[in-house]
Amino acid sequence: MTVVDSSPSTSPAAIDAVPLRHPWRWVAAVVIVILVVLFLYGMATNPAYRWNIFAEYLFNDRILFGVWNTLQLTVYSMVLAIVLGVVLAVMRLSPNPVFRSVSWVFLWIFRGTPIYVQLAFWGLIPTIYANIQLGVPFGPSFFHLNLQALSIPFILAMLGLALNEAAYMAEIIRAGISSVPEGQSEASTALGMSWGMTMRRTVLPQAMRVIIPPTGNEVISMLKTTSLVTAVPYAFDLYSIATREIAARTFEPVPLALVAVAWYLLMTSILMVGQYYLERYYSRGASRKLTTKQLEALAKAQQIGEAGHV
Amino acid sequence: MTPMVQAQEVCKSFGALHVLKGITLEVGRGEVMCMVGPSGSGKSTFLRCINHLEQVNAGRLYVDGDLIGYREAGAKLHEISPRVAAKQRRDIGMVFQHFNLFPHRTALENLIEAPIHVKGVKKADAVARAKDLLDQVGMAEKATAYPAQLSGGQQQRVAIARALAMNPKLMLFDEPTSALDPELVGEVLEVMKKLAQEGMTMVVVTHEMGFAREVANKLVFMDGGVVVESGPPREVLANPKHERTKAFLSKVL
């Protein structure tokens, strides 16, 4: 019989191994860098890019106005779409058959037609419904609104984007909700929670981990889809101002398209940073990996324990 | 005094599949009843009927004198609203095979969730009670840990404490140790034993015959949706009368 001596008399030396080399990664990186440098050199020296015009218009007041409008359109329609999407998804999964059908029909229409056509339709609403009256049918009217007298392309554009997006958000949220194990809602029910509270406090927070990444995609996609509002027609978003307004006047399509590209890229980059932090927040508790704080506390406890032994 | 659980000819079917075929039994106050039997015999379904996670199709099921799942008006039964059902469940704690702790909440947050949001207990009071309960199940040091950072046995002990946080008058255990590593089973049974000694009424679906023999007042053997045999655990385990009980026990003991 062997007796294993487990007393930690001298701990073995830490391993100092030669790291595995990856020569082909270096070769690939060098090739790519060369290609990028060549392309950048071409961009800088090709006069067709007209960099002086680009610089002149990058911070132009009209461009900044377009950036602001694009951001507003994105944020407002996205917020509306998420709220509506949650409602639609919850309706779709609810035990109430009326809710389920309403949600299904909404999705059927708004996912089944192109966004450009929908936006054009929203633009036609003042033509179709010239007046809005609130009152008893065939009786007296209490409230009257003349849509044609109002200038509401921004609101129509926002509604158009939001309702279309809501259909997609509803599917994303439904997938998130379905990803939460049934035991979770069962445990909540057994604790006396109502269906609504179970959704709100147990299921949706856990579904967030699945919902956030595709929603980040949708926000970024929405930022770009705002360039379609010209169908309404709404003419003051970034793309419309850069191309239809300024480039059409100055006959400089290339530098102004680049101005638009630069601003879209900047905005999507900022959104990606926000998405990173949101994902980190909602993944708490999802892995056994300890947080930095918890690791520090454990290491401290270990040190104290070892100090006590000596 | 009315028994805590009273089942009269309880039947449950899922479509054409009859899972419970007339269960009649009683659990007195402060009693511990263990239910054993082969898988598919309807033990868990019966347990889930007690807190109305499943709706009974025939027969009557009373908890503390209240009819579960229906309202009796004259000769007619009316389905109860989800709100009333939720109210009935508040006083019935349930512990699941797979713990079902809320993974996005720490152990302590798991315990205070329902008292605060269902019962409207003040947060400070709920936290104090939760800490006390975590201490009772030996989990005081893990109050800030998330479930994924706990072992199975620890998670199940937190889950028991979570159910107790609602001050239930009845506790249901659905195979509480079946998903645990063998060396972790003991710590959970220890907590359950303590709970039984404190006078909690418990219905336990289990395969732990040792626990049944030691702690239970009554052992029920189910097979094929009916109660085949029941009685004091020592008697049933030592001298099973039915062939089916004998066959089952010879396999598990």
Residue A117 phi, psi dihedral angles, 5° rounding: -65, -40
H or E stretch including B220?
Answer: strand B218-223
Confirm or reject contact between A293 and chain B (CB < 8 A).
no
Cis peptide before B233 (omega within 30 of 0): no
Asked whether residue B229 carries a pLDDT value surpassing 70, the answer given is yes
Confirm or reject contact between A10 and chain B (CB < 8 A).
no
SS3 per residue for chain A: CCCCCCCCCCCCCCCCCCCCCCHHHHHHHHHHHHHHHHHHHHHHHCHHHCHHHHHHHHCCHHHHHHHHHHHHHHHHHHHHHHHHHHHHHHHHHCCCHHHHHHHHHHHHHHHHCCHHHHHHHHHHHHHHCCEEEEECCCCCEEEEEEHHHCCCHHHHHHHHHHHHHHHHHHHHHHHHHHCCCHHHHHHHHHCCCCHHHHHHHHHHHHHHHHHHHHHHHHHHHHHHHHHHHHHCCCCCCHHHHHHHHHHHHHCCHHHHHHHHHHHHHHHHHHHHHHHHHHHHHHCCCCCCCCCHHHHHHHHHHHHHHHHHHC
* Separation CA B232–CA B226 (nearest Å): 18
SS3 B149: helix
For testing the chain A interface, which of B97, B98, B102 should be mutated: the one with the most A CBs within 10 Å? B102
* Separation CA B31–CA B3 (nearest Å): 10
Confirm or reject contact between A297 and chain B (CB < 8 A).
no
* Separation CA B26–CA B3 (nearest Å): 6
Structure tokens at B158: 């937190």
Ranges A91-95, A303-307, B45-49, most confident = B45-49
CA distances from A254 to A53, A91, A225, A296 (A): 9, 47, 21, 54
More reliable by pLDDT, A7 or A200:
A200
Q: What is the mean pLDDT of residues B101-109?
A: 95
SS3 B171: strand
What is the tens place of the pLDDT at every residue in B41-95? 999 999 999 999 999 999 999 999 999 999 988 888 899 998 999 999 999 999 9
- Is A290 in Cβ contact with B148 (below 8 Å)? no
pLDDT attached to residue A285: 65
What is the tens place of the pLDDT at every residue in A18-74? 889 999 999 999 999 999 999 999 999 999 888 999 999 999 999 999 999 999 999
* Separation CA B98–CA B106 (nearest Å): 17
Asked whether residue B197 carries a pLDDT value surpassing 90, the answer given is yes
Confirm or reject contact between A187 and chain B (CB < 8 A).
yes
Confirm or reject contact between A19 and chain B (CB < 8 A).
no
Of A186, A181, A188, nearest in space to B47 by CA: A186
* Separation CA B126–CA B123 (nearest Å): 5
Confirm or reject contact between A195 and chain B (CB < 8 A).
yes
pLDDT attached to residue B112: 96
pLDDT attached to residue A2: 58
pLDDT attached to residue A139: 73
* Separation CA A25–CA A172 (nearest Å): 37
Of A192, A202, A205, the CB nearest to B166: A192
* Separation CA B211–CA B185 (nearest Å): 11
DSSP type of residue B69: S
Answer yes or no: are the C-beta atoms of B191 and B138 closer than 8 Å.
Answer: yes
Of A192, A284, A285, the CB nearest to B114: A192
The residues with which A131 forms a beta bridge, in sequence order, are A146
* Separation CA B17–CA A249 (nearest Å): 76
Give B-chain residues touching A296 at CB under 8 angstroms.
Answer: none
Per DSSP, the residues of B14-48 read: ETTEEEEEEEEEEE-TT-EEEEE--TTSSHHHHHH
Question: Scanning every residue of chain B, which has its alpha carbon at the shortest distance from the alpha carbon of A289?
Answer: B149
Answer yes or no: are the C-beta atoms of A299 and A307 closer than 8 Å.
Answer: no
Confirm or reject contact between A290 and chain B (CB < 8 A).
yes
∠ at Cα A97 (A184, B67), nearest 5°?
60
CA distances from B159 to A109, A115, B211 (A): 45, 48, 19
pLDDT attached to residue A275: 85
Portion of chain A with pLDDT greater than 90, in percent:
55
Give A-chain residues touching B117 at CB under 8 angstroms.
Answer: 193, 197, 201
Asked whether residue B35 carries a pLDDT value surpassing 60, the answer given is yes
Residue B199 phi, psi dihedral angles, 5° rounding: 100, 10
Q: What is the mean pLDDT of residues A192-202?
A: 92
Amino acid at B32: V
Answer yes or no: are the C-beta atoms of A222 and A214 closer than 8 Å.
Answer: no
pLDDT attached to residue A305: 72
